[in-house]
């Protein structure tokens, strides 16, 4: 069997063992080792349980084994609950016994530093030597609610209800809170996994496992650190494309002080959280801000079909909440469905004259189940409706329970999503309970309902989006770029000079405006006449950083005569203001015509690798931080989406008499930067500021760039 297949089988056995050994069990109630034994027994596990304890003879009425090696029968899964100091001894024996799957619950490894790091390395080596796959250490454990397995190999208090949501969490403590939260809302799980330090099996392995799991339809992932960003993105893209299963994720650690210490614009704007946000979006992962938001979206996707489009019908017995929901829906990018004539007619006939039969449909405060029934059924029948929001507020005559049952009965006959919001808490609880038990997404706030629908709709759109392949430019000169970068690294430089930076970009056929370093008036004149007027001239000296401050820059030079004058003026200015400066000459460059200034950049992220940034120049980047990021390499659609994402995009598209800019040239630059960032890992950060984008068809030019290595 290949290693990959063996690892897959090992992982399968963690969730579907026929026999489990709890290694390090005790009979002291209230301890993790004891509770694990009891939880497995209480969960109605369909296989055989072997407690292994050096001291006890019987635990919970079961014969106990001193060592795992003393068990005569084969064992599929070992759950290690020994203190971390002896886990290696236990795992070694598991290996000798031929056990290939393990969960290491024990804490006291990498997370505590020092000896813990060594201990983690030790168990990883043993696992490698014996071909063991393990979850943990430092985790809560694993739960499989499949009725044919029923395994609670964790120290969570309760076995959750059976469901179609798979939950993966790096935090064990969060798991127990989530289980409690979910229980109150009758949210069921297919698999529930706390993977702790992920010393062996990580979130990527588990994502692939849940992708193959027929019981799982929606995957939730809580992460504290991403160890392999590109791997995570690839897994998510593959899983979503092949299975259509949505992946929702919370990645904690949104704030970061480190970004401010970066050396470039791109570095300072691209904090790890911004990059994570961009990477998740790129991979199709739905990022959630908190647990509530995650479950709001998860239940929508797990319980109801995805909406075909974004047209919703709102059925409410209260005007105010109807308006609130309408506002939320529009803000979330949804549309209010325009009812067909048939729907209008049916509603008119069936509802009181005081009812509002237009969307949002107000069936009036005294509405009972019959009015809800006719309105929901007709809305679901209407071809111009993609989903229905049912809102209820509890008046004295509102038969909450009947209405809840009516929603379930009517909705189940149609293949369109129905979301509900029974507003309030105490009186509506009975109705909410019915809805939740029947797998109808319920939201206390209509705004949450709208947001969940919008996310489900966006996911549907994401599934339908066609991907176009990566563009690889053949005209680039990678060896030349590498040579420049390596030469600078050899000299222990941390950044390239402007000339070197431009040469690297030129090697990748980015539109670098040609320039020449003139060491005499004659050279300056000759080059100016070659490239054509107007030109720009500026002093080049390793001792002068701020060229304008010393009168070292003159713009818009229109004739040979002016070139001569400018040359003398610059030399004279510099000699007066910085007489000791070492002068290399005067750079002459064609002056770029007016255009829209944009900033492009590269940054290398610890988790995701090379990242490309796009933003509009000036205040858009300086004050509004109106920038977008994508992990490289990316395709043309992604490059276009980077531009569309920024608020300043209207300037490129042409507004208020301005002409449309050359988006094709800009896209080309982004794609070439993407390729450069992948081909040349020496580049830590890169800024092109500005790139001047001319009118459509006239291209784009860059004159200044900075590369940090």
Partner 1 sequence: MNKNEVTNRVKKAIANVLKVAESEISDDANFIFDLGADSTQSIELVAAFEEEFDVEMDEAKALEVQTVSDAVSFISGYLNS
Residues that bind partner 1 (CB under 8 A): 26, 28, 53-56, 82-83, 85-86, 89-90
Q: Which is nearer to partner 1, 26 or 675 (CB)?
A: 26
Q: Least Å distance between CB 122 and partner 1?
A: 14
Q: Which is nearer to partner 1, 83 or 681 (CB)?
A: 83
Q: Which is nearer to partner 1, 68 or 692 (CB)?
A: 68
Q: Which is nearer to partner 1, 90 or 207 (CB)?
A: 90
Q: Which is nearer to partner 1, 56 or 386 (CB)?
A: 56
Write down how long the chain is: 709
Q: Least Å distance between CB 233 and partner 1?
A: 42
Sequence-separated (6 or more) residues with CB below 8 Å from residue 568? 521
Q: Least Å distance between CB 156 and partner 1?
A: 23
Residue 407 is encoded by which pair of tokens?
Answer: 């929603």
Q: What does the alpha-carbon distance between residue 56 and residue 58 come to, in Å, rounded to a whole number? A: 6
Q: Least Å distance between CB 53 and partner 1?
A: 6
Q: 478-486: list long-range contacts, CB under 8 Å, 24+ apart.
A: 478/507, 478/679, 478/680, 480/507, 481/507, 481/508, 481/676, 481/679, 481/680, 482/679, 482/680, 482/682, 485/680, 485/682, 485/683, 485/707, 485/709, 486/682
Half-sphere exposure of 116 (CA within 13 A, CB side): 14
Q: Least Å distance between CB 153 and partner 1?
A: 21
Q: What does the alpha-carbon distance between residue 519 and residue 534 come to, in Å, rounded to a whole number? A: 20
Q: Which is nearer to partner 1, 41 or 86 (CB)?
A: 86
Q: Which helix (H) or strand (E) holds 244?
A: none
Q: Least Å distance between CB 490 and partner 1?
A: 47
Q: Which is nearer to partner 1, 53 or 249 (CB)?
A: 53
Residue 648 is encoded by which pair of tokens?
Answer: 């300043």
Based on C-alpha coordinates, what's the Rg of the chain?
A: 32
**Under 8 Å between Cβ of 588 and 528:** yes
Q: Least Å distance between CB 86 and partner 1?
A: 4
Angle at 377 between CA 375 and CA 379, to 5 degrees: 65
State the alpha helices, DSSP H only, in 213-318. Answer: 229-243, 265-269, 272-283, 291-303
Q: Least Å distance between CB 194 and partner 1?
A: 23
Q: Which is nearer to partner 1, 82 or 567 (CB)?
A: 82
- Which of 317-347 are b and which e, b meaning 16 or more Cβ less than 10 Å from the residue's Cβ? bbeebbebbbebbeebebebbebeeebbebb
Q: Least Å distance between CB 172 and partner 1?
A: 20
Sequence-separated (6 or more) residues with CB below 8 Å from residue 2? none
Q: Which is nearer to partner 1, 55 or 349 (CB)?
A: 55
């Amino acid at each position: 069997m290949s290693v990959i297949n063996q690892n897959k089988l090992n992982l399968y056995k963690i969730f579907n063992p026929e026999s489990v050994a709890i290694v390090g069990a005790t009979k002291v109630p209230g301890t993790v080792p004891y509770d694990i034994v009891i939880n497995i027994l209480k969960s109605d596990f369909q296989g055989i349980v072997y407690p292994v304890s050096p001291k006890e003879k019987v635990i919970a009425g079961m014969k106990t084994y001193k060592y795992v090696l003393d068990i005569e029968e084969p064992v599929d899964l070992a759950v290690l609950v020994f203190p971390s100091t002896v886990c290696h001894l236990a795992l070694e024996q598991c290996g000798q016994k031929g056990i290939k799957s393990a969960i290491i619950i024990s804490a006291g490894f990498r997370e505590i530093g020092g000896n813990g790091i060594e201990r983690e390395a030790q168990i990883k080596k043993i696992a490698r030597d014996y071909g063991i796959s393990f979850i943990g250490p430092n985790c809560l454990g694993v739960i499989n609610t499949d009725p044919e397995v029923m395994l609670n190999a964790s120290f969570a208090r309760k076995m959750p209800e059976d469901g179609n949501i798979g939950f993966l969490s790096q935090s064990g403590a969060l798991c127990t809170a989530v289980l409690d939260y979910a229980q109150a809302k009758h949210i069921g799980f297919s698999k529930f996994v706390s993977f702790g330090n992920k010393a062996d099996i990580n979130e990527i392995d588990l994502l692939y496992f849940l992708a193959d799991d027929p019981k799982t339809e929606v995957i939730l992932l809580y992460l504290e650190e991403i160890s392999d960003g590109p791997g995570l993105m690839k897994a998510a893209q593959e899983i979503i494309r092949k299975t259509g299963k949505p992946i929702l994720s919370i990645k904690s650690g949104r704030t970061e002080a480190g970004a401010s210490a970066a050396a470039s614009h791109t570095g300072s704007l691209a904090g790890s959280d911004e990059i994570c946000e961009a990477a998740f979006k790129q991979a199709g992962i739905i990022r959630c801000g908190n647990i509530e938001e995650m479950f709001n979206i998860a239940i929508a996707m797990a319980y109801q079909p995805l909406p075909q489009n974004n047209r919703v019908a709102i059925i409410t017995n209260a005007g105010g909440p109807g308006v609130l929901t309408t506002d939320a829906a529009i803000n979330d990018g949804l549309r209010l469905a325009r009812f067909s004539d048939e729907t209008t007619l049916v509603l008119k006939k069936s509802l009181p004259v005081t009812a509002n039969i237009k969307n949002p449909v107000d069936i009036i405060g005294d509405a009972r189940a019959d009015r809800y029934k006719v309105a929901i059924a007709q809305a679901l029948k209407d071809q111009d409706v993609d989903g229905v929001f049912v809102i209820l507020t509890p008046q004295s005559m509102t038969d909450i329970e009947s209405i809840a049952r009516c929603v379930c009965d009517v909705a189940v006959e149609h293949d369109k999503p129905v979301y509900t919001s029974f507003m309030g808490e105490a009186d509506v609880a009975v109705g909410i309970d019915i809805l939740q038990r029947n797998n109808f997404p319920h939201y206390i706030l209509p705004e949450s309902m709208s947001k969940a629908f919008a996310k489900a709709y966006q996911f549907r759109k994401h599934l339908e989006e066609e991907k176009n392949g990566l563009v690889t430019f053949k005209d680039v000169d990678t060896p030349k770029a590498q040579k420049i970068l390596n030469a600078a690294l050899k000299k222990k430089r941390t950044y390239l000079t402007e000339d070197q930076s431009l040469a690297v970009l030129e090697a990748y056929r980015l539109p670098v405006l040609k320039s020449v370093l003139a060491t005499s008036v004659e050279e300056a004149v000759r080059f100016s006449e070659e490239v054509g007027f107007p030109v720009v001239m500026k002093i080049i000296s390793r001792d002068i950083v701020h060229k304008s401050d010393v009168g070292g820059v003159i713009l818009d030079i229109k004739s040979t005569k002016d070139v001569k004058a400018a040359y003398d003026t610059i030399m004279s200015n510099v000699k007066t203001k910085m007489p000791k400066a070492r002068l290399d000459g005067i750079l002459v460059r064609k002056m770029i015509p007016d255009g829209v200034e944009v900033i492009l950049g590269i940054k290398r992220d610890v988790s995701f690798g090379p990242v490309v940034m796009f933003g509009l120049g000036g205040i858009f980047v300086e004050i509004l931080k109106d920038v977008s990021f994508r992990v490289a390499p990316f395709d043309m659609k992604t490059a276009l989406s980077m531009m569309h994402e920024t608020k300043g995009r209207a300037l490129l598209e042409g507004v208020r008499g301005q002409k449309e800019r050359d988006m094709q040239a800009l896209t080309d630059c982004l794609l070439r930067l993407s390729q450069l960032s992948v081909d040349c890992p020496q580049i830590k950060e890169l800024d092109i500021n500005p790139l001047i984008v001319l009118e459509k068809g006239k291209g784009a030019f860059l004159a200044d760039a900075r590369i940090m290595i």
